[in-house]
């Protein structure tokens, strides 16, 4: 049985949604960030980054939310939601997954915690935060592809990239132009957040407000 080490609404939400979508049995293990448990000696043994999430799959222990999602997709090819390996659709699936984690997610993390780069320099923190918001906004604009090819990343076919966007879209809700201010993104979010495989994991993580 899988074991997902998590904290509510953190990057674990994407693998969590995928586990639910695939109907898998899993244990949720809380890594209490309030107590900085992600930096504890025991947790660092399974995730030397000291970050959340971590997946334990038998003898396999792995970190990075997107990699965990891709691993789950590989483990359950019959369940979808990812196109067949070697097809152009699969290539597009990789494109969006890597774009989301490598470009958008990284910028959102800088926007959330600019002081990790700037330390106690308040003015620099403000500049970095504004810059990160602008860059994240530009990445969100790229997703306007959905206007012509939506409603989901791969057209009508649900893929794990859609879950990944739900995860990321929750974080920047306070931005001046949050993800939902783009109609194509709002349409995707409405469709995907209506799924039980999205509502259930967020409820299990204790999220009671609108998901994103």
Ligand X SMILES: N[C@@H](CCC(=O)N[C@@H](CS)C(=O)NCC(=O)O)C(=O)O
Locate the DSSP E strands across the chain. 2-6, 26-30, 54-57, 60-63
Min CB(106)–ligand X separation in Å: 7
d(CA 16, CA 60): 17
Pair 104, 140: CB distance under 8 Å: yes
Q: Which is nearer to ligand X, 13 or 82 (CB)?
A: 13
Cα distance from N-terminal residue to C-terminal residue, the chain:
29
CB of 178 to ligand X, least distance (A): 18
- Closer residue to ligand X (CB): 22 or 63: 63
Residue of 195, 165, 206 whose CA lies nearest to 8: 206
Please say which residue, 35 or 84, places its beta carbon nearer to ligand X.
Answer: 35
Tell the residue number behind the tokens 């495989």, with chain if given: 197
Minimal distance in Å, beta carbon 187 to ligand X? 25
Q: What span, in angstroms and rounded, lies between the C-alpha atoms of 102 and 110? A: 12
Contact set with ligand X (CB under 6 A): 10-11, 33, 38, 50-53, 63-65
CB atoms within 10 A of CB 87: 10
Which residues share a beta bridge with 28?
4
Q: DSSP per residue over 62-89, as a string?
A: EE-HHHHHHHHHHH-GGG-SSPPTTSHH
Closest contact distance (angstroms) between CB of 102 and ligand X is 9
Residue (46 or 184) nearer to ligand X, CB: 46
Minimal distance in Å, beta carbon 88 to ligand X?
26
Taking the complex as a whole, the smallest distance from the CB of residue 55 to ligand X amounts, in Å, to 10
Q: Based on CB atoms, which residue is closest to ligand X, 10 or 159? A: 10
| Residue 170 or 182 having the CB closest to ligand X | 170
């Amino acid at each position: 049985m899988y074991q997902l080490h998590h904290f509510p609404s953190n990057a674990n939400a994407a693998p969590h949604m995928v586990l639910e979508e695939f109907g898998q049995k899993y244990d949720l293990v809380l890594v209490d960030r309030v107590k900085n448990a992600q930096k504890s000696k025991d947790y660092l043994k399974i995730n030397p980054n000291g970050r959340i999430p971590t997946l334990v799959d038998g003898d396999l222990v792995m970190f990075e939310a997107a990699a965990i999602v891709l691993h789950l997709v590989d483990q359950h090819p019959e369940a979808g939601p990812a196109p067949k390996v070697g097809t152009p659709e699969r290539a597009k699936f990789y494109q969006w997954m890597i774009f989301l984690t490598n470009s958008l997610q990284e910028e959102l993390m800088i926007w959330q915690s600019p002081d990790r780069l700037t330390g106690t320099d308040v003015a620099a923190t403000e500049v970095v935060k504004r810059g990160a918001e602008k860059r994240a906004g530009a990445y969100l604009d790229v997703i306007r592809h959905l206007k012509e090819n939506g409603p989901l990343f791969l057209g009508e076919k649900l893929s794990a990239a859609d879950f990944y966007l739900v995860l990321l879209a929750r974080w920047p809700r306070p931005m001046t132009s949050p993800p939902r201010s783009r109609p194509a993104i709002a349409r995707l979010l409405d469709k995907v957040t209506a799924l039980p495989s999205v509502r259930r994991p967020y409820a299990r993580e204790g999220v009671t407000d609108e998901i994103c």
